[in-house]
Every structure is written in C-alpha cells, then in structure tokens.
Structure 1
Amino acid sequence: MPVNPGLAGRSYPATAPYLVGREKVREFARAVLATSPLNLDPDAARAAGYPDVVAPPTFAVVVQEQTLAQLLADPDAGIDFSRVVHGDQRFTFTRPIVAGDELTATLTVTSVKTLGGHSMVTAESAIVGADGDHVVTATSTLVVRGDE
C-alpha cells in the first residue's frame, strides 16, 4: 500500500505530558557528546539564568518521537515502517528545553510528495510547555522507500 497522499494537513491528538528529568538531560548530553556545563551542572545552568540543566537542542526528538509513533501506527497512513529512512530533521526554538519542563506535542503532516517510487512525508511536531506556550517545533521528513 503506498503512502496516503491525503495525510497532508492531518493533525493528531496532543501527546501525554512528558516531564523532562535532570538525569535524562544529562544522559542525553553525554550520549551526544555535549560538554557544556549548562547541560550537566544545575549550578552552572542557574548561574546562566536557567531554572535547571538545559537540554541539548536535539533532545526535542525524545518528545517528538511520541508524535511520530502516532503517525506510523495510523493504518490509514500507509507507511510501512520497515521501509522508512529518516531524511531530514530541523528545530525551531522559542526557548531551550530545561529539566522540569512538562511538554506536550501535536503533530501535523505538512506534506506528502512522491519522487520516483519513493514517498516523502514531512511532519511538524509543535511542542509546548505546561503553560501552553511554544517551546520548539521539530520538523522531520521521512522517506518511505517504494517497492523494489
């Protein structure tokens, strides 16, 4: 089944809140070799004006993953996960993610294109804090390889 072109414009329900933990931020920072004291040391982060450690920018994928799971599980989408390759990732921040944030995300499929025998699905995950204010938008393009 090919990717459903009618996905473009579809939004999915907001995810359950994700509480950003200090140790999760530290673990992620170490995994991506981030060495800034802001990512690891609460005192350094507070001295810089943040309430706790600051997540590396790509930490947003942890929250975005919940939204992409909704898309991939949608039987109407026509996406065979075994044929998916991650094509592109971008982030647009209003402010950094910090430990203690409670984040929810809402995914909207912005485009579905066919190139050759492959489909490209671009989706934006708008991530907001508990106050409803925008924190970051994570934009992913998934390439769904066509039949061989």
Structure 2
Amino acid sequence: MLDHSHIGRALTPYSVLVEAGRLRFFALATAQSDPVYFDPATAEAAGYPALLAPPTFLFCLEFESPQRGELYRLLDIDIARILHGEQSFAYRRQVFAGDRLDYAGRIANIYVKRSRSGGELGFIEIETTVSNAERQVVAELRRVTVVKPA
C-alpha cells in the first residue's frame, strides 16, 4: 500500500512570514478572546514585541509550502483517500507577527493497521521542526495522515 522506504526522508524546507492580519483572522476563527491576539498595543503592553500567535497557528502555516502536495505525490496517494488523523505540538518559544519561520519536515514513520471492516488503513507520521530567523527552534509539530484503501 505505502512505500516504507521513504521513512526518514526530508521534505522540501521552506520559510514563511507570520502576518498580523492572518494572526487576527486565525484568532477570530478559533474563538480566542485575549486581545494580545488582536491588538498590537495590548500585546506590547503585555510585554510582547508584536501580536502573539494563537495556539495551533503554526499548523496552518505548515500548508504554506511551495511544494504543496509533495508528500502525496512522493507516495503516489490520491488526495481523495486521505483523512486527518491527529496532530500535536511541542512549543519551545513564542511566535509573533513579523517573525520569519523556517519549516523542516520529514517522514517519521509509515505503518498499516487493519480496520474493523477488515481493510487496511495506511498511516503517515510527519515531524516538522519550526525555527525562527535566529535558528532557534520555536516548535516541533507532529501530524498523522490516514490513507484509506483504494
């Protein structure tokens, strides 16, 4: 089903700028209420250099890769067969509007499980390290994509 030889393979790294407008939109969409996510003056009064990135915002930036769909092309997976399995975050530093972030992902694991109906489901674990312009790790992201049988 899935080619296990790709375990450990690095995905194409990329950089993305954290834009204030996108932070506000994401904060609104995720029902944040703290003004440090919306108002630069409040964020600065709280000791932040700019608007603070809301929790899980880094995951949405993971889809900013100029090589979108690289994983699915590499593994020859029809996008209609994929499901979001899970995601987790290990935060090391805060992220603010104006930060430039570098994303470096890799295929951490590929495995198969039998479903209750007897079919096989494929699982792809991606681990991504996110660093700031000073090369400090700001977060480690992990996501699992589920691949349904053809």
Q: Same fold (TM over 0.5)?
A: yes
Partner of 1:25, secondary structure, is helix
Question: Partner of 2:2 in structure 1?
Answer: 3
- Cα offset, 1:70, TM superposition: 2.6
- Cα offset, 1:23, TM superposition: 0.9
Structure 1 residues 61-119: Cα deviation after superposition (integer angstroms, max 9, x where no partner): 12212456332232xx1322110000001011111221010011011111101001110
Question: Partner of 1:21 in structure 2?
Answer: 19
Report 1:46-85 matches (<5 A).
46-67=44-65, 69-74=69-74, 77-85=75-83
Letter in 1 for 2:109: S
> What percent identity do the matched residue pairs reach?
28
Q: TM-score normalized by structure 2?
A: 0.89
**Aligned partners of 2:100 and 2:133 also within 8 Å:** yes
Question: Partner of 1:135 in structure 2?
Answer: 138
Instruction: For 2:37 and 2:70, locate their aligned partners in 1 and report how far apart those are by CA, in whole Å.
Output: 29
Query: What are the ranges of 5 or more consecutive residues in structure 1 without an aligned counterpart?
Result: none
* 133 and 69 in structure 1: CA distance in 2 versus 1, 3 angstrom threshold: farther
* Moved segments of 4+, more than 6 Å: none
* 61 and 69 in structure 1: CA distance in 2 versus 1, 3 angstrom threshold: farther
Count of matched residue positions in the alignment of Structure 1 and Structure 2: 143
Q: Let me know the Cα RMSD of the aligned residues.
A: 1.4
Instruction: For 2:54 and 2:6, locate their aligned partners in 1 and report how far apart those are by CA, in whole Å.
Output: 31
Query: What are the ranges of 5 or more consecutive residues in structure 2 without an aligned counterpart?
Result: 115-119
Q: TM-score normalized by structure 1?
A: 0.90
